[in-house]
Structure 1
Amino acid sequence: MTRLRKILTVCLVLAMGMAMVFANGSSENSGTTTIRVMNYIDMSEPNSMNEISMVWDKFAELHPEITVIREDLFNEPFHQKVEAYVASGNLPDVIYMWPGGRSTSLQTTHSVKDLMPFLEKDGLVSSYNPACLVPQTAGYLAELPNGLTASHMMFVNTKVLKENGLSIPKTYEELKAMVPVLNAKGIEVVGMANMDSWVMQSCLFSTIVGRLGGADWYEKLAAGEINFTDAWFVKSLELVDDIYSSNVINRNTLQIGYGSNRGDFANGKAAFYIDGDWSAAAFQTDITTGQALISPADQQANFEMMAFPVIPGEVVHDTVSGVVGTGWGMSANLVAGSKEEAAAWELIKFLEGEYVQTYRLETGASFPSNLNVDVNKLIDEKGLEPFVAKRSAFYNSYTTTPVIDGVLHSDVYNEINVVLQEIGLGACTPAQGAARVQKAWETWKANN
């Protein structure tokens, strides 16, 4: 982006922010406190419209003294807008964010407040899973998470496997052996949507790196004990190269936009589908329409959730990449003790409270960080869809290793993203890619 474009972007965001405040009038005049919110939502997903009424309208009903001006965006448009807000210094009062990775700029610029003092003041620390309250990239609790997230989940269409005389693979070799059998029937082995460069890195490669590098690979890297040019990382890239070249994952997935081929998997056009755990919600019933990509009956009888099978040379077993989940942060621009700060915290408490986290569990959006939400009790008493119970069992079956974009700076993980796509296209060898990532890592260390 040129300097002129950056200036124009900042000016546009400033103008939009001023327009939003002007359009809604003064809090003093209206008798309410107005706060701006940056929300992350895919309006094409099941239950997205229902979320507006169940969550945002509910908050408005409970808190008529607070006016919320909400901006809804998804995927790259959301992240691009956040970067523009950070550059302008005109951040919305409450913002959906990540503990690191895609929210690196929010965290490293300390554009958001530490939420731990707010939790402590209200006596809410014990209400949350302690693993969700650890310091994040900013060095403090910059966002209150929805829960813990597995960035890797491998969905299985067991009906497709049975119809083709196959069973759930225990090893990569067994998975690879399915290629000729399934391709002969016009069925893909593993479906993914890899056009967005983060998907392969976050949803599969991070798990591969964890298996071959160990759960502590990042700590060893940061301590200078290992490098990206060492065997653990080169072999990880070699496996991705083999996955593409053997057609375990078709190269055409590099032209598929995120989330757009879930229906193909649900309809039996692929035997497996790899995504993050959050994608389970896309297959469940839309409360508004009563429709589901995978019916509850099929969820129970014909689909399972697993991790990528055993990889040759792995040093840890039964692991998936995981990280503290997304959640809500508060702008550092809010004056301490102000009505706006109090209103922003009231909204965050609601969004991460028992009511909303129960709703998110029921719709498959996330598993709760709030300990007041009893998952097993809700599954039994409310008869939640089978994918909810199977997802709970999934979490109990695997331990986690780091998500690459959750621990590395964007200057480094973006290079990994590009390398992975070029390997998929056959434009880069694993050794070349490893050398480029190592250079990016050394450059970042030298400048920080």
Structure 2
Amino acid sequence: MKLKRLLIAGAALALTALPAAAGELSFWHAYAGQQDKIDFITFALDEFAKKHPDITLDVVAAEQSAYKTKLNTAMASGNPPDVFYTLPGGFLNAFVKGGQMYALDADLAKDGWRDSFLESAIAQTSKDGKTYAVPVDVDSVVFWYDKALFAEKGWTVPKTYDELMALAEKVKGEGLVPFSLGNKDSWPATFWFQYMEMRLKGSGVVASFVNGDAAATLGAEGEKAFQTVAEIAKKEYFPIGFNGMSDQEANMLFLNGQAAMLLNGTWQIGASADAPEGFELGYFAFPSVSGGAGDQTDVLAGVAASFGISEKTDNKADAVTLLKFLSSPEVMTKYVELRKTMVTVKGATTEAAAGPVLYGISNDLMNAAGHLDSFYDTAMPPAATNIYYTTLQGVLDGSVAPADGTKRLEEALKANK
């Protein structure tokens, strides 16, 4: 395989994908601008070149924000790349709705390919019963804490929500912030609302709206979830000024021992690399909620990246070959090793590659979960996501009543299927 690499350096560069000849594919990805991403894609494409010398790839790379703009432009102009990186949820579904994605189901049914993935991950790249992209990695959300601090204070990890609130009161009594939160960019607080909705009502709530279920509703549980996060804010269990604080600032409060716990994604492992000496990162699952109708083992976990094939490509056989290679256990285990991120291929997140913390989350929480519920904000269409963000911020600062928040979000979801 021959590789032709092009890096998108700025927004002024206009790109279109040229039609592929036999044995040629255009391949676009967003693994640029971050060394672990670059290391992975370099390894993967070099290995593919060794195994498939008859396939030539024209490679275009970009950082995430520039990439999304370029891909949207290429798709809108009718000149899409043959194989490309895409985000699940609303971003992917827009292309599906436009008839621009190749359905992979017939290919996934061969040689056990589909069975190699976590089915809950495949569900996040599927629409109306068909799968349009191969899920690559997955981020899950858990509570993080400093084991050394908990040991020093004699605190124990809570198993129930009532125990979590009792612990928060103890932490506050010690002069510390119970839960670090920097919600300036709106998404960090969504973990609190979504987990409460999952525990109270169950997983798949937003997915039911997106999939066009006429009976979809947030229910009374949605109002209760908004009410619960509003109460936490009112009790000052979050930092002062959290709605204007960045995620990075909240992380520093946590790492410096000023905040006891942090509800965040598995990227926190990397974000804790520069923690002070003596800090020992630990995790625990979002606690069970008494009387909740949801499966209390469910985990908030979203597919972060996937690869799909354009419906327009004339070289679908080689495109499928590339996707099968990228999602092979060997390549995915290397992904875990280089990026310290869980992957969607069964058995590829090994302890040797992942390290003890990430492997523990994968083995103890993810594998035991009844369901993996994708991030609400990425599953929603963009217009609904914006309303979700502003509504939740309003509920947290007291300017929006929980009942009104529920009504706003339901209306947005129904209007933006």
1:98-147 deviation line (CA, Å, top 9, x unaligned):
34234331232232211223334666344444444457126411111126
Alpha-carbon distance change, 199 to 42 in structure 1, aligned in 2, over 3 angstroms: farther
Give the structure with the higher percent helix: 1
The answer to whether structure 1 residue 314 and structure 2 residue 312 are counterparts is no
**What residue is the counterpart of 1:43 in the other structure?**
34
Distance 2:214 2:80 in 1: 36
The answer to whether structure 1 residue 359 and structure 2 residue 334 are counterparts is yes
Distance 2:11 2:100 in 1: 16
Distance 2:81 2:175 in 1: 48
SS at match of 1:17: coil
Distance 1:62 1:137 in 2: 32
Structure 2: where are the runs of 5+ without partners? 1-9
State the Cα distance separating 1:235 from its structure 2 match.
0.7
SS at match of 2:149: helix
1:140 to 127, 130, 133: 130
**What TM-score comes out, normalization by structure 1 length?**
0.74
**What residue is the counterpart of 2:313 in the other structure?**
334
Answer yes or no: is the 8 Å Cα contact 1:176–1:248 preserved in 2: no
The answer to whether structure 1 residue 431 and structure 2 residue 403 are counterparts is yes
Answer yes or no: is the 8 Å Cα contact 1:164–1:182 preserved in 2: no
**What residue is the counterpart of 2:7 in the other structure?**
none
Distance 1:86 1:410 in 2: 17
The answer to whether structure 1 residue 191 and structure 2 residue 166 are counterparts is no
Answer yes or no: is the 8 Å Cα contact 2:32–2:38 preserved in 1: no
* 2:355 aligned partner, one-letter code: E
Alpha-carbon distance change, 99 to 27 in structure 1, aligned in 2, over 3 angstroms: closer
Alpha-carbon distance change, 154 to 41 in structure 1, aligned in 2, over 3 angstroms: farther
**What residue is the counterpart of 1:95 in the other structure?**
84
Answer yes or no: is the 8 Å Cα contact 2:186–2:389 preserved in 1: yes
Distance 1:270 1:42 in 2: 31
Distance 1:68 1:189 in 2: 50
- Aligned residues: CA RMSD: 3.8
Answer yes or no: is the 8 Å Cα contact 1:320–1:401 preserved in 2: yes
Answer yes or no: is the 8 Å Cα contact 2:20–2:82 preserved in 1: no
Distance 1:188 1:42 in 2: 34
2:233 to 229, 238, 244: 244
State the Cα distance separating 1:420 from its structure 2 match.
0.8
1:14-33 deviation line (CA, Å, top 9, x unaligned):
97114x86xxxx988xx973
SS at match of 1:195: coil
Distance 2:25 2:216 in 1: 50
**Which 10-residue stretch deviates more, 318-327 or 352-361?**
318-327
Answer yes or no: is the 8 Å Cα contact 1:192–1:275 preserved in 2: no
SS at match of 1:305: strand
**What residue is the counterpart of 2:373 in the other structure?**
402
* 1:390 aligned partner, one-letter code: G
* 1:91 aligned partner, one-letter code: P
**What residue is the counterpart of 2:387 in the other structure?**
415
Alpha-carbon distance change, 430 to 133 in structure 1, aligned in 2, over 3 angstroms: closer
Alpha-carbon distance change, 223 to 102 in structure 1, aligned in 2, over 3 angstroms: closer
**What residue is the counterpart of 1:161 in the other structure?**
150
Answer yes or no: is the 8 Å Cα contact 2:330–2:348 preserved in 1: no
**What residue is the counterpart of 1:3 in the other structure?**
none
Structure 1: where are the runs of 5+ without partners? 1-11, 285-291
**Which 10-residue stretch deviates more, 347-356 or 398-407?**
398-407
**What residue is the counterpart of 1:390 in the other structure?**
360
State the Cα distance separating 1:239 from its structure 2 match.
1.1
Answer yes or no: is the 8 Å Cα contact 1:206–1:402 preserved in 2: no
**What residue is the counterpart of 1:304 in the other structure?**
282
Distance 1:389 1:141 in 2: 27
**What residue is the counterpart of 2:197 in the other structure?**
209
SS at match of 1:208: helix
Alpha-carbon distance change, 213 to 92 in structure 1, aligned in 2, over 3 angstroms: same
State the Cα distance separating 1:231 from its structure 2 match.
2.0
1:16 to 1, 14, 17: 14
SS at match of 1:332: coil
Answer yes or no: is the 8 Å Cα contact 1:100–1:407 preserved in 2: yes
**What residue is the counterpart of 1:272 in the other structure?**
261
The answer to whether structure 1 residue 350 and structure 2 residue 325 are counterparts is yes
Distance 1:231 1:294 in 2: 41
State the Cα distance separating 1:313 from its structure 2 match.
4.6
Number of aligned residue pairs: 401
State the Cα distance separating 1:364 from its structure 2 match.
5.7
1:60-90 deviation line (CA, Å, top 9, x unaligned):
455554234232223x554444444443333
Distance 2:369 2:155 in 1: 24
Alpha-carbon distance change, 87 to 174 in structure 1, aligned in 2, over 3 angstroms: same
State the Cα distance separating 1:40 from its structure 2 match.
4.9
The answer to whether structure 1 residue 106 and structure 2 residue 76 are counterparts is no
State the Cα distance separating 1:283 from its structure 2 match.
4.9
Alpha-carbon distance change, 244 to 53 in structure 1, aligned in 2, over 3 angstroms: same
Distance 1:52 1:298 in 2: 34
* 1:416 aligned partner, one-letter code: Y
Distance 2:186 2:33 in 1: 18
The answer to whether structure 1 residue 54 and structure 2 residue 43 are counterparts is yes
* 2:344 aligned partner, one-letter code: S
Answer yes or no: is the 8 Å Cα contact 1:361–1:388 preserved in 2: no
**What residue is the counterpart of 1:289 in the other structure?**
none
